[in-house]
A and B are shown apart, each in its own frame.
Chain A
Amino acid sequence: MAKLVFLGRLADLAGAPEREVAPGPLADVLAALPRDLAVALLDERVRLALNGTLKTGGEAVVLSDGDELAFLPPVSGG
């Protein structure tokens, strides 16, 4: 399994800070989520971090077993 991590308001929307998902292309993973959550995760202001490294955008994400993908909405600062 792979793990999705939801930060900030996305955790409220997801109903939990984390969710286990079947590995595979991100498009397939998102398609299996509730629609309103998937739409929020696809917001262009939401950054992605795969296994602790920020994605710079563009390239397709394919989750492998044990991967952790975090969804990072705009920060509200310290």
Chain B
Amino acid sequence: MAIDVRLLDQPFNPGAFVGPFTHAHPGLGGVCTFVGEVRGGDGIEALELSHYAPLTLPGMEALARRALARFDLMGIMILHRTGIMLPGEPIVCVSSAATHRRAAFEATDFAMDHLKSDSWFWKREKRGGVWTWIEPRGQDHADLARWD
């Protein structure tokens, strides 16, 4: 199970996935897990992520394979929500297992930067009952350039 990539359309508990992922890699030296959640405050009522099935999951799987090829990993798991989420709900979980910590840290960071700027997701947020599409951010592209 070197790669485990999933799109989830219901709320999920990251720990319920990270546990089995870790156990599937006996002998590992470290696991680095990042969980992103819907930020609260600023009047945010909800966030909706839409995707395009023929491209989004294959793109995430290709990203996982690139991380495996680039870093010395035993495995990588990428979970991503779609649909409507409330503040405090997990959106994304990336977990990298490796024999040494550096590869696990870097692979998780790499996958997150690419998910944020280079994956087929469209995001809109609701404030005061009104939905607004979120435009790409320059910072996301600067984050991506770190890996060139």
Contact = CB atoms under 8 A, between A and B. Distances in A.
Contacts of A75: 117-122, 136
A52 B140 contact: no
Interface of A: 5, 7-9, 11-12, 49, 51-52, 54, 68, 70, 72-78
A11 B122 CA distance: 11
Given A7-B52, A8-B122, A49-B54, A76 B136 contact: yes
Secondary structure at the B interface, as helix, strand, loop or mixed, is: mixed
Interface residues of B, number: 25
Contact of B136 (A11, A49, A68, A74): A74
A1 to B, nearest CB: 18
B133 interface: yes
Contacts of B80: 78
Contacts of B101: none
